[in-house]
Amino acid sequence: MSRPRATYDNHFNPPDETSMDAGRVAKWALWHSQSDDPEMCCVVCGSLIPIPLGPEPLWPERRRWGRRLEPATGPCAELESMEYQVYPSVAVSLYRAILDQPSEGPPQVLGIALCQIGIPGEPRSVHRDSQTATTWTGPETVEDLCVPFHVADILGPDINREQGRLVGYTIHMPCWVLLNRVIGKGLLEANLSVLLRTVESHWRANRSHWLTLGIIYGYEEHASGVLPWVKRPPMTPFGGGGGGVDHDWRCLETVTNSAVVPEIRAVIEKAERNQAGNRSRRRGQHVSARVPIEVVMMIVEAIYKDPGYGSGGITDTQHLLAAFAWHLPDWYWQARCHPWLIFEVRDLMRANRVVDWEDLCLGVEGLLCNHHWYYHSGLRNRARIVRWIERIRDGFMSRLDRNGGGEG
Ligand SMILES: [Zn+2]
C-alpha cells in the first residue's frame, strides 16, 4: 500500500518566486525528493516539519546557539520559550522525537533538533537527553550525543519498523509544548505507548488532514476560532491572490509559532504593571457604582456581542466603565480571556498574580480584533492545534481507562 505524499501545488501556493515561501517550497521539494523515509510530519497537528529559512544565524536573539552549520547544544527550555522575531517560522523547524521500538525498551522522548535536508536511506538523529537541544548534528556529534532513528510511518505499514530499525514519531517543538499543557507532562511521559497508539489511530481516521504544508485550505474558522460572531474582513494569504471573504478566512498558516506569542506576552506585562490597585480604588467614588453588577454586565456584554465588535467597541467599553466608575469582578474578565486557548492567562490565574484583568482582557481583545494580526498570528494556529490535541486527549484518556489507568 502506498502512503500519501504531500502535493505541493495543491497545498501551497506562493505568490512569486522571490518570496521566502517560494524558497521554502523549493527546499521542501528537494528534501522530499531525496528521502526514502516518510515525510517528517508532526503527529500532533498533522503538518510537515519544514527545513528552516535564513542563511544567517537562526536566532540572533541567542547568538551563543551558533550559526546553522555550527554544532551547538543548549537547554530545550530556552528554545521553547524564545520568540524568534527575525525568522518566526524557525520554531516549527525545531522538533522532538519519541523513539519506539519495543525490543529496545519503552518509548523515549528525545531532545530537540533542527530539521535538515534528508539523505536517502540515512536516519535522522536527535539528542538523547530530553532536556537538551542540538541545532546541528555533524559526524562528531551523532555517535556520542544523538540517537539515530527512521521517521515512523504512522499510517503504516512501517517497513523500517518491520526490519527492526529504530523508528521515531516526530513532533513540532511548539506542538509538544501545547500537548504537555493540555494533557500534562507527567501523564504523557508515563504513558508514551498509549500516546503513540492514540496518534496512529487518530491520523488513520483523519487521513485527509495529514501532511498539510504551509497553508491549509478549507480550514473551518468557526469551529476553532475565537470571537466567532465578529465579522472578519477579507484577508489574503501572503498579501496577494484573490478570493472571497469566506475562502480567505478558510486559509490558515501552519508555520507560525503556536507556543510563544510575543504580543500576548506584551499585553500581560502591561496589565501586570497596571495592577488592580488603581481600578479598585475607583469603585465607590460615584453614585452610579450602586448599579447592580448584573446590569453592568448586561450592558458590557451587549457591546461585546456586537458583530462589529473591535477597537471601537473596546474603547466604548473602557469609556463606559470609567465614566460610571463601574468595576466588574476579575472572574468576569478572566472568563472573557479565552483561558482554554491562552494558557498564559491560566498561568496567571493559577499563580494568583495581581494584574489589571480588565486591562488584560481588553488588551487581548485588541489583538483578536486586529484582523490582520490575528490572521497571521501563532494564536490562530494555536487554536487549530489545541482542537486537535483535545481530540487526541479524549482518545488517550479512553485508552488509559481501558488499560485500567495506565500502561502498567
Ligand atoms: Zn505540529
Residue whose grid cell is 502506498? 2
Cα torsion angle, 134, 139, 143, 147, sign = positive
Assess whether pLDDT exceeds 80 at residue 70: no
Please check whether residues 281 and 181 belong to one and the same domain. Answer: no
Spacing, Cα 39 to ligand 1 middle (Å): 13
Q: How many CA within 13 A on the CB side of residue 353?
A: 20
Q: Which domain holds residue 316?
A: 262-376
Domain membership of residue 234 (yes or no) is no
Question: What's the order of all strands across the beta sheet hosting 124-127?
Answer: 73-75, 132-134, 108-114, 94-100, 167-172, 146-151, 124-127
How many angstroms does the Cα of residue 268 sit away from the middle of ligand 1?
26
Are residues 145 and 34 both part of a single domain? yes
Average pLDDT over residues 311-339: 94
pLDDT at res. 20: 41
Same domain, yes or no: 142 and 51: yes
- Together in a domain, 69 and 182: yes
Domain presence at residue 297: yes
pLDDT at 308: 94
Q: Are residues 25 and 137 in the same domain?
A: yes
Assess whether 46 and 181 both reside in one domain. Answer: yes
Under 8 Å between Cβ of 94 and 111? no
Amino acid identity at 232: R
CA of 45 relative to ligand 1 center, distance in Å:
4
Is the pLDDT assigned to residue 221 strictly greater than 50? yes
For residue 156, being part of any structural domain is answered with: yes
- Asked whether residue 250 is domain-assigned, the answer is no
pLDDT at position 5 is 39
16 in the same domain as 164? yes
pLDDT greater than 50 at residue 394: yes
pLDDT interval class at 286 (50, 70, 90) = low
Beta-carbon contacts of residue 333 (< 8 Å; ≥ 6 apart): 357, 358, 360, 361
Residue 261 has pLDDT above 50, yes or no: yes
Say whether both 169 and 306 belong to one domain: no
C-alpha to C-alpha distances, 191 to 127, 168, 185, nearest whole angstrom:
21, 16, 10
Residues 190 and 407 sit within 8 Å (Cβ to Cβ)? yes
Task: Please give the distance, rounded to the nearest whole angstrom, from the Cα atom of residue 326 to the centre of ligand 1.
Answer: 43
Same domain, residue pair 275 and 184:
no
Range name among 115-119, 203-207, 212-216, 258-262 with the lowest pLDDT average: 115-119
Question: 265 alpha carbon to ligand 1 midpoint, in Å?
Answer: 22
Per the structure, the count of domains in the chain is 2
Spell out the residues 6+ positions from residue 132 whose beta carbon is closer than 8 angstroms to its own: 73, 74, 75, 76, 111, 112, 145
Give a yes or no: residue 362 inside a domain.
yes
Question: Which of 153, 174, 189 marks a domain boundary?
Answer: 189
pLDDT digits (tens, 9 = 90+) for 348-385: 999 998 899 999 999 999 999 999 999 989 999 999 99
- Residue 245 belongs to some domain of the structure: no
The single-letter DSSP state of residue 125 is E
Give the integer Cα–Cα distance in Å for 128 and 136. Answer: 14
Do residues 16 and 137 share a domain?
yes
Residue with the three cell numbers 504544508? 213
Q: What is the distance in A from the centroid of ligand 1 to the CA of 403?
A: 27
172 and 289 both lie in a single domain: no
Cα(253) to centroid(ligand 1), Å: 12
CA 78 to chain centre: 16
* Residue 316 counted as domain residue: yes
> How remote is the CA of residue 213 from the centroid of ligand 1, in Å?
11
Closest CA to 360 of 403, 314, 308: 314
CA of 310 relative to ligand 1 center, distance in Å: 30
Residue that terminates a domain, selected from 162, 189, 216:
189
CA of 97 from ligand 1 middle (Å) equals 12
Lowest-confidence pick of 81-85, 208-212, 265-269, 308-312: 81-85
Q: Which residue has the higher pLDDT, 139 or 108?
A: 108
Residue 203 covered by a domain? no
> How many A from CA of 260 to the centre of ligand 1?
14
Domain identity same for 365 and 283:
yes
- The rounded Å distance from CA 359 to ligand 1 centre is 32
Per-residue pLDDT band at 282 (split at 50, 70, 90): low
